[in-house]
């Protein structure tokens, strides 16, 4: 019996060492890789992927019927897919599941200044974001990296789980307040609902900040200049002068994003320099194209 206990203990120690060794295989240069949120497991991965696949297929079908799906022969589509082809090999660093994703990249002919990446690597860009921002390849890579980062870090799955928890807690707090203080339940529900909404907005802003940095890390490893992220958000600032205050938005303010990026250039630029086969002090200044008026 003692021998069996010793054997079990030895196997446990070996497993622990193996786990620690596997974790150490991710060399922590660039933006540090953090564990994925544990909360996300409350929402089944398969369920999220199936829903995303169905929605993406429906979007493609509808766009095709309306003549709004840009054909694969288009130079803009080829350009997008070229950027994706360079970025995708660097994605498993942030989520090993990405090795098995069936990546897709499509362009929708619509004026929206937007792009997305659904769970499973289903990427979509709108012509509006390319044309209105006059994107360089580096800026396109910054956007694509950002959207891919949301999928890699499973933000949609995490947000769905957190929203469910927040909703339950808020309703519980409202009922408790009504019972203790004799307040009209309709009032407490309204107040706690607003508090709950604020928490969800905070979650979303945190996700955006993470996606900014992870996205630039991926783009830099692929040989795209991370300084393009700063240039991109200056363009966005010129386009979105009527944006809501940061605390009421799911996205950080433009200056906040730029500040976060600039504070991390000391770890992002070496990745880019390495990909270009040079050193940081030999990198030329970043030059964007014509600035927006």
Catalytic residues: 147
State the virtual CA torsion across 273, 277, 283, 288 in degrees, nearest 10: -80
In whole angstroms, give the CA distance from residue 243 to residue 75. 32
Residue 125 near residue 113 (C-beta atoms within 8 A): no
Distances (CA, A) of 236 to 130, 132, 245, 291: 12, 10, 15, 11
Paired sense of beta strands 115-118 and 122-126, if any: antiparallel
Residue 282 near residue 231 (C-beta atoms within 8 A): no
Residues in Cβ contact with 136 at an 8 Å cutoff, skipping those fewer than 6 apart? 228, 231, 288, 289
Closest CA to 84 of 152, 141, 147: 141
Residue 99 near residue 92 (C-beta atoms within 8 A): yes
């Amino acid at each position: 019996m003692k021998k069996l206990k010793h054997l079990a203990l030895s196997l446990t120690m070996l497993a622990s060492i193996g786990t620690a060794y596997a974790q150490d295989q991710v060399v922590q240069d660039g933006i540090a890789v953090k564990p994925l949120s544990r909360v996300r497991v409350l929402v089944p991965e398969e369920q999220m992927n199936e829903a995303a696949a169905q929605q993406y297929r429906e979007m493609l079908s509808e766009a095709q019927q309306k003549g709004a799906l840009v054909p694969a022969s288009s130079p803009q589509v080829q350009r997008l897919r070229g950027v994706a082809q360079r970025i995708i090999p660097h994605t498993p660093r942030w989520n090993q599941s990405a090795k098995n994703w069936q990546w897709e990249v499509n362009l929708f002919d619509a004026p929206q200044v937007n792009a997305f990446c659904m769970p499973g690597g289903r990427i979509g860009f709108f012509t509006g974001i390319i044309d209105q921002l006059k994107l360089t390849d580096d800026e396109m890579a910054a956007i694509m990296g950002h959207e891919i980062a949301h999928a890699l870090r499973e933000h949609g799955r995490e947000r769905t789980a957190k929203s469910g928890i927040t909703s339950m807690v808020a309703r519980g707090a409202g009922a408790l307040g009504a019972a203790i203080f004799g307040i009209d339940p309709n009032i407490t529900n309204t107040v706690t609902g607003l508090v709950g909404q604020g928490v969800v907005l905070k979650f979303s802003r945190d996700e955006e900040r993470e996606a900014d940095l992870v996205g630039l890390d991926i783009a830099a490893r692929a040989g795209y200049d991370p300084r393009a992220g700063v240039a991109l958000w200056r363009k966005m600032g010129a386009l979105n002068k009527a944006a809501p205050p940061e605390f009421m938005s799911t996205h950080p303010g433009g200056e906040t994003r730029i500040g976060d990026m600039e504070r991390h250039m000391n770890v992002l630029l070496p990745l880019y320099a390495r990909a270009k086969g040079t050193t940081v002090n030999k990198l030329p200044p970043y030059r964007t194209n014509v600035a927006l008026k």
